[in-house]
Amino acid sequence: MRVLLTGTSNSIIPAGIKRALEIDPRVTAFTNASYGASGSVAIGDHLRNVDFSQYEVCVIDYCVNEEVLLSSNASTLERAVSNIFALVDRASRAGCLPVLAIYPTQHMLYIERPFENALVESLVTRGVPVFNIYDYVIGLNERQGFSVEELFLDPHHVLRKLSFFVGRQILDFVEAIDFGALELVETGETYHSLEFIPYADLCFDGGEMQEVVRKTTLMSRNLLNVTPGTRLTVETGKASEIAGITFNLSRSWGVLSNAENGAHLLEIANKSQFTLDRELVLVSLPFHPTVPTDGRAVSLDYTANPVVGDNYPDLGLELLGLVVRNCEQSHPLAILCPAAVGPRLHEMIKPGREKALTRLLHAEIEQISERKRVSR
């Protein structure tokens, strides 16, 4: 089984879903195209060089951050759903089965989640397998007596053992599928594709620029560091909109604005991440509002005010590129549907497996508690 995983922080946490997929003997090839703290606009960067025909399964994890972005009015439901449709369609048309994993956050557990609802309504009903970990958490809370807080490493990430379990559940489901009986179904839905424009294809005016290399244990990226007062200009040559930006959060601070009308597109002001202690925190975030191009060149202004405090890098924006949504034409959504092998929406854990999982979760919770006691 050849598996592609694409998503955000839950997909890169050690010993979680990533580990489950990469060590399972049923998986003969595994690629992880993910990084954390990003919205679904990251699909433009994550998958620009991916050949889906080389994989049989694509596991998709973008719901956590997108739901947060929507709740803070930093994105729109229509655009977020279109991004996932673009990914599902591209995988499906290449013969790669899309599987959706909906990871939870603590604060959204018992409130309305429009992104999740839209994806379940539009994808599950058309045959896309969806694993809803919100329901796993609620079930473990109600049936096994875990508090909600115990089931999370932090407010945005479930326990590693639970995430690992999700990966195994996905593989068990996929193993039962007859890939020879998959059917590509046109849905009647449409979407707009995402493209990525690297910094080398942009024009810059004002400010200073320097190419830098930043690394983590998981990746290395060439980036362009620009100083406040820089104007970025992009020309797509077609009707499109500048949908977002991919940049290094640990070396970026300031505001990006539409040079034509001064509208603020994105404020980058995360003091906990803007630090010399971390070399690279690569993220992709949406612009809201987006910047329509109408086939002409458009410009963005980067400005920044000083940061008060110690241990902060020099003011700057470390840029990988821009994400562009092609508005020239809409594309029809097709979905690769598996033969009937069970429920499409996975909300419940089988009793026998839940007991085994419960023991593992109790052990992880005890380990976390012990580390906290030692650290005191």
User: What's the CA gap between 133 and 131, in Å, rounded?
Assistant: 6
User: What global pTM score does this model have?
Assistant: 0.96
Q: CA-CA distances (angstroms) from residue 85 to 1, 81, 88, 187?
A: 24, 6, 5, 11
Class of domain 2-192+332-375: alpha beta
The pLDDT tens digits for 183-234 are: 999 999 999 999 999 999 999 999 999 999 999 998 999 999 999 999 999 9
The pLDDT tens digits for 15-45 are: 999 999 999 999 999 999 999 999 999 999 9
The two three-digit tokens of residue 300, written as one number: 């963005």
Q: What is the pLDDT of residue 344?
A: 79
CA angle 160–123–110, rounded 5-degree value: 50
The pLDDT tens digits for 257-287 are: 999 999 999 999 999 999 999 999 999 999 9
Residue 306: CB atoms within 10 A of its CB come to 9
Which CATH topology does 194-326 take? Jelly Rolls (2.60.120)
In this structure, are residues 207 and 332 in contact, taking their beta carbons and an 8 Å threshold? no
Strands 298-303, 130-132: pairing kind: unpaired
- String of DSSP letters for 178-208: -GGG-EEEEEEEEE--EEEEEGGGSEEESS-
Q: Within the chain, which residue ranges are assigned CATH 3.40.50.1110?
A: 2-192+332-375
User: What's the CA gap between 131 and 141, in Å, rounded?
Assistant: 17
Q: Which residues pair with 190 in a beta bridge?
A: 332
Q: CA-CA distances (angstroms) from residue 59 to 67, 81, 84, 175, 234?
A: 18, 16, 12, 14, 32
Q: Within the chain, which residue ranges are assigned CATH 2.60.120?
A: 194-326
